Structure 1
Amino acid sequence: MSVRDYRDALKVREGYWFAPKLFGWGAVPVTWQGWLSTIAFAVAFALVINWAPTRFVRIGLAVPMLVVFMWLVWTKTDGGFRWRWGPDRDRD
């Protein structure tokens, strides 16, 4: 697989922020909106985990944050979530 093939496999249509991972299950950010939302989630999650006063509060805040972020990634991924063994050959 060349660098060009890898780059082309991570292109997304307009309106999508994430591309499916080439190997495995999940998605990766490929636009500035995807990167911004990922960084904002990571910072907010770290703040909640480090500064929430009790374990109960940490879990009560962290789990909904994670669910909302996963929903966002799922809805903004061009190609959906499924297990992959490399780039799709039929993708335009």
Structure 2
Amino acid sequence: MAEWFYAKRYGYGASLPCSWQGWVVLALFLGLMIGNAVLFEDQPAVFTAITVTIVPIFIVIIWRTTKGGWKWRSGKDKDTL
């Protein structure tokens, strides 16, 4: 699997993107969330439904493409940012 995101140096999860694909995924996520907020500002049920769909997809993409995977780190791993 491709590596698009750095792992966090401390804690669990991912950090910043390490490839152009990661930056595209992050920009797309931010664009979708901002568009969602603007377009459905007065429709909280629609906003919530779209958010509940987009966020888990984004998390799974990051989880599957993080360099070194997700695990607890204490600052000693070399594949972190």
Same fold (TM > 0.5) = yes
Q: Choose the corresponding residue for 1:40, options 28, 45, 48.
A: 28
Which structure 2 segments of 5+ residues have no match?
Answer: none
Q: TM-score, normalised by structure 1?
A: 0.74
What secondary structure, in the 3-state scheme, does the structure 1 residue paired with 2:52 have?
helix
Q: How many angstroms apart in 2 are the aligned matches of 1:41 and 1:87? A: 30
Counterpart CA distance in 1 for 2:51 and 2:20 is: 24
> 1:57 corresponds to which residue?
46
- Measure how far apart 1:76 and its partner are: 0.7
For 1:81, the equivalent position in structure 2 comes to 70
Structure showing greater Rg? 1
How many percent of aligned residue pairs carry the same amino acid? 30
Bigger relative contact order (CA 8 A; separation at least 6): 2
